[in-house]
A and B are shown apart, each in its own frame.
Chain A
Amino acid sequence: MSVFTPGLVHTPVTPFTTDLKIDYSRYEQLLEFHLAQGAQSLAITMHAGESVSLTDQEQRAQFAFATKQVNGRVPLLAHVSDSGTRIALERAQYAESIGMQAVICTTPYYWTPPAPMILEHFLQVSQAVKLPFFVFYSPDEMGGITLSTDLILKLVDQRPNFAGMIDASLDWQFMINIISNVWRKKPEFQLLAGNEYMVSAGAIGATSMLSGLGAIAPKLIKELYTICRTEKYVQARQAQENVAALLFLITQYGFGGLKSAMYAMGRDCGIPRPPHDALSPSQHQTLSQSLHALPFMSKEPQGW
Chain B
Amino acid sequence: MPLILRGVMQSPVTPLKDDFSPDLPTFEKLLDFHVRTGATAISWPHHKGESLNLSIKERKAFAEVAVKTVAGRVPVSVHVSALSVEDSIELAKHAEQIGADAIIAITPYFWAPSQEAIYQHYVRLGKVTSLPMIAYNSPSYLEGVEFTGELVTRLMHDVPSLIAMKEASFNSAKFLEISRAALQVRPNFSIVAGVEFLAPSVPLGCVGSYSSAGAICPNLCTQLYDACIAGDSVKARELQFKLAQLWDLFRDQYPSSLKGGMVVMGRPVGPTRPPLPTATKERQAFIAKQLEELGILDTEPHGW
Residue B201 is within 8 A (CB to CB) of chain A in the complex: yes
Are the CB atoms of A231 and B234 closer together than 8 Å? Answer: yes
Q: How many A-B residue pairs have CB under 8 A?
A: 82
Chain A residue total in the interface (Cβ 8 A): 27
Mark contacts of B229-249 with chain A using CB atoms, 8 A cut-off: 1 yes-contact digit, 0 otherwise.
001011011001100110110
Residue B18 is within 8 A (CB to CB) of chain A in the complex: no
Q: Which of B171, B176, B245 contacts A241 (CB 8 A)?
A: B176
Are the CB atoms of A244 and B236 closer together than 8 Å? Answer: no
Q: Which of B176, B177, B203, B205 contacts A203 (CB 8 A)?
A: B203
Q: Which residues of A contact B233 (CB under 8 A)?
A: 203, 231-233
Given A205-B237, A231-B234, A172 and B200 touching (CB < 8 A)?
yes
- Min CB–CB distance B227 → chain A (angstroms): 11
Q: Which residues of B contact A205 (CB under 8 A)?
A: 237
Are the CB atoms of B201 and A200 closer together than 8 Å? Answer: yes
A205 to B199 Cα, complex, angstroms: 10
A216 to B204 Cα, complex, angstroms: 23
Residue B188 is within 8 A (CB to CB) of chain A in the complex: no
Given A170-B173, A172-B197, A180-B245, A200 and B204 touching (CB < 8 A)?
yes
The dominant DSSP class at the B interface is: helix
Q: Which of B173, B240, B247 contacts A197 (CB 8 A)?
A: B173
Q: Closest residue to A199 on the B side, CB-wise?
A: B203
Q: Which of A173, A203, A236, A247 contacts B236 (CB 8 A)?
A: A203
A199 to B247 Cα, complex, angstroms: 22
Residue B6 is within 8 A (CB to CB) of chain A in the complex: no
A201 to B205 Cα, complex, angstroms: 15
Residue B33 is within 8 A (CB to CB) of chain A in the complex: no
Q: Which residues of A contact B204 (CB under 8 A)?
A: 199-200, 237, 240
Are the CB atoms of A204 and B199 closer together than 8 Å? Answer: yes
- Min CB–CB distance A88 → chain B (angstroms): 28
The dominant DSSP class at the A interface is: helix
Are the CB atoms of B237 and A241 closer together than 8 Å? Answer: no
Given A180-B245, A200-B203, A170 and B171 touching (CB < 8 A)?
yes
Interface residues of B in 135-180 (CB under 8 A from A): 149, 170-177, 180
Chain B residue total in the interface (Cβ 8 A): 29
Given A172-B200, A173-B197, A248 and B172 touching (CB < 8 A)?
no
Q: Which residues of B contact A231 (CB under 8 A)?
A: 233-234
Interface residues of A in 147-198 (CB under 8 A from B): 170-173, 176-177, 179-180, 197
Residue A61 is within 8 A (CB to CB) of chain B in the complex: no
Residue A245 is within 8 A (CB to CB) of chain B in the complex: yes
Given A171-B170, A203-B200, A245 and B180 touching (CB < 8 A)?
yes
- Min CB–CB distance A183 → chain B (angstroms): 8
Interface residues of B in 198-216 (CB under 8 A from A): 199-205
Are the CB atoms of B248 and A200 closer together than 8 Å? Answer: no
- Min CB–CB distance A237 → chain B (angstroms): 6
A145 to B233 Cα, complex, angstroms: 31
- Min CB–CB distance B293 → chain A (angstroms): 12
- Min CB–CB distance B137 → chain A (angstroms): 14
Q: Which residues of B contact A170 (CB under 8 A)?
A: 171-174
Q: Which residues of A contact B237 (CB under 8 A)?
A: 203-205
Q: A170-B173, A234-B203 are in contact. List 13 more A-B contacts (CB 8 A).
A: A171-B170, A173-B244, A176-B197, A177-B244, A177-B248, A199-B203, A203-B233, A204-B240, A205-B237, A237-B203, A241-B180, A244-B180, A247-B173
Give the A-binding residues of B (Cβ under 8 A).
Answer: 149, 170-177, 180, 197, 199-205, 231, 233-234, 236-237, 240-241, 244-245, 247-248
